[in-house]
Amino acid sequence: MLSYLAAVSASSYSWVSMVRHFGGIMRPGGSCLSLSFIASERVIPGYGGGMSSAKAQLESDTRVLAYEAGRRFGIRVNSISAGPLLSRAASAIENGGGESFIHSYIKFHEEHSPLQRKMDADDVGRAALALCSDLSTAVTGVCLHVDNGMHCMGFTGSESSAACAWWNPDLATGEKTNRSPANVPSD
């Protein structure tokens, strides 16, 4: 229970407190930004200790703060849900096996996300810059996923999976065909 309360305190309560205390000295149109993780919405085995619940609360508080701080201080409040990055905090999460949680998650992420590329901190930094800049003056209350599209995946089967055949029939039959998704026969 103590680790759960510590996670909520560190991740969510501190965010609300910080916006409340510093919102009044920020310039109107300024921006506050927090960092979240996909575990707020999906089950990520090994990512526990209350952090998944704390991140869900952080994202909910971001939406409420967008309204309250927007009305009171004229500032924007957003969150970024970053993909897996090899950070000190992520490295501390144990997997119970030989490979650390973050190393196995980075590997899984690179193999199964729509954009199969390695994430780095600059990806998150560029998104943060955009959200804090005048390019996003009408954006508040959002949680922007910066994760190579992994958040939109419902099934992450291999590319040779029959479930992917509607997109690329060559995977299912091994033959070159010219079918569009609209022409794939239904069962």
Question: Hey, which residues does 145 pair with through a beta bridge?
Answer: 81
* Cα-based distances in Å from 146 to 10, 54, 123: 22, 19, 7
Q: For residue 36, how far is the Cα from the chain centroid? A: 6
pTM: 0.77
CA neighbor of 84 nearest in space, from 38, 142, 33:
38
pLDDT at res. 84: 85
Mark whether 55 is an active-site residue: yes
Q: What is the pLDDT of residue 33?
A: 97
What is the C-alpha separation between 137 and 134, in angstroms, rounded? 5
Residue pLDDT tens, the chain, 187 long: 667 788 888 888 889 999 999 999 999 999 999 999 888 888 877 777 688 888 999 999 999 999 999 999 999 999 999 988 877 666 666 666 666 777 778 888 888 889 988 889 999 999 999 999 999 999 999 999 999 988 888 765 655 454 444 445 555 555 554 444 455 555 5
In this predicted structure, what is the pLDDT of residue 170? Answer: 53
| Residue 129: per-residue pLDDT | 98
100 catalytic residue (yes or no) = no
143's tokens? 């949680």
What's residue 81's pLDDT?
Answer: 94
**pLDDT at res. 58:** 94
Catalytic residue of the set 31, 55, 79, 113 = 55
